[in-house]
Structure 1
Amino acid sequence: MTTTKKAGQKESTGVGFTDDERAAMKERAEELKAEGRGGKKKADNLKAVLTKIAEMGDSDRVMAERIHAIVSRVAPQLGAKTWYGMPAYTDEIGKVVCFFKAAEKFDGRYATLGFEESATLDEGSMWSTSYALTEITDADAEKIEQLVKRAAS
């Protein structure tokens, strides 16, 4: 079995999941276990999201804070929670509408703002469901606001 490692990536055997992927799955299992024990209160979920954001490196943290502020302002009906250890925002029945994935989470070159199936972004027969982010300019923030409003409607 040959081991492979790309620049900035943790070691993988080429078969199965990377260490980062296994860690994300473990975080998700813990999240599900907590939900199965009667779920977390909204305040606990928000605290978990803010804690995860605070733990991020500078670049990712700045973007995650800005996205969190945008979602909180333009779609206050969405609930915050962690999803695979990353900040996510859910509809009234708990389905993830959008999420932020830090670049450093998987040693990526960009962070991701993603939208799940419950997001109402439908536009014809094809539309974007994720966006690569290296920073968030004011123009980007305006676009994110529009996307989040539409996704949450």
Structure 2
Amino acid sequence: MSRTKTSTYEGFTAEERAAMKEHAQEVKKASRRTSRAEKAAEAERDLLAKIAEMPDADRVIAERVHAIVTANAPMLAPKLWYGMPAYALDGKVVCFFQSADKFKTRYSTLGFNDLAKLDDGAMWPTHFALAEVTAEVEERIAELVRRAVG
């Protein structure tokens, strides 16, 4: 019995392939670092450099997210994850910022992985669209980050 093809899967997009290559480079670079302090300092420098490369609209949001996360969850270690700014606990990513430019989307996002303690019943959001960072948005991000690690 033959199957007919109903969709046209073309594999990963160029942006997805680039993110995977970035992740492989991040892992390789991290393995060459020696001390824990050196790893942390270099990882944060890499993250800040990645933010600085972003288009202005994404960069402004990413800088605010970075400031909010580091102020409200200092136990999270900044690092790059698939070329995106991310924040990890014991080496595992809890939350991350994805710029709109990264995957050519309409808005940036703040995402939380399964380690984030955001559970709320049988269903809850794990990604949040960020069009701008107002005072209200800053407080919401701070509250989410505190809950994620709490």
Superposition TM-score, scaled by structure 1 size: 0.87
Q: State whether residues 33 and 39 of structure 2, in contact with CA within 8 Å, keep that contact through their aligned partners in structure 1.
A: no
* Structure 1 partner of 2:72: 74
Structure 1 unaligned blocks of 5 or more: 1-12
Aligned-partner residue type, residue 24 of structure 1: A
SS of 2:101 mapped into structure 1: helix
Alpha-carbon distance in 1 for matches of 2:39, 2:66: 18
Deviations 1:88-146 (A, max 9, x none): 0001x211000000000111100010000111111111111000111111101110000
Alpha-carbon distance in 2 for matches of 1:38, 1:65: 25
Same amino acid, percent of matched pairs: 56
The reply on whether 1:36 has 2:34 as its aligned counterpart is: no
Cα shift at 1:17: 1.2
Structure 2 unaligned blocks of 5 or more: 1-7
* Structure 2 partner of 1:46: 44
Cα shift at 1:38: 5.1
SS of 1:52 mapped into structure 2: helix
Cα shift at 1:36: 3.4
Q: How does 1:7-46 map to 2 (within 5 A)?
A: 15-37=10-32, 41-46=39-44
Aligned-partner residue type, residue 102 of structure 2: K
* Structure 2 partner of 1:7: none
* Greater alpha carbon shift after TM alignment, 72-81 vs 38-47: 38-47
* Structure 2 partner of 1:118: 115
RMSD: 1.4
Count residues with an aligned counterpart. 140
* Structure 2 partner of 1:5: none
Alpha-carbon distance in 2 for matches of 1:143, 1:18: 32
Cα shift at 1:52: 0.3
Which structure has the greater CA radius of gyration?
Answer: 2
Superposition TM-score, scaled by structure 2 size: 0.89
